[in-house]
Amino acid sequence: MARNMSETLPILVVPHPILRARAKPVTAADDAAVRELAQKMLATMYKAPGIGLAAPQVGVGLRLIVVDVAPKEAPAPMVMVNPEIVAQSSELATREEGCLSLPGQYAEVTRPARVLVRYQALDGSRQQIEAEGLLSACLQHEIDHLNGVLFVDHLSPLRRNMILRRLAKEQRAKAREATAP
By annotation, the residues acting in catalysis are 142
CB atoms within 10 A of CB 71: 8
Q: Rounded CA gap, 3 and 9, in Å?
A: 14
Q: Rounded CA gap, 2 and 22, in Å?
A: 30
CA distances from 56 to 10, 70, 133 (A): 11, 23, 24
The candidate with the shortest Cα–Cα distance to 63, out of 51, 77, 81, is 81
Amino acid, single-letter form, for residue 92: L
Contact 100, 72 (CB under 8 A): no
Instruction: Tell me the HSE value of 9 on the side-chain side, using a 13 A CA sphere.
Output: 21
24 forms beta bridges with 62
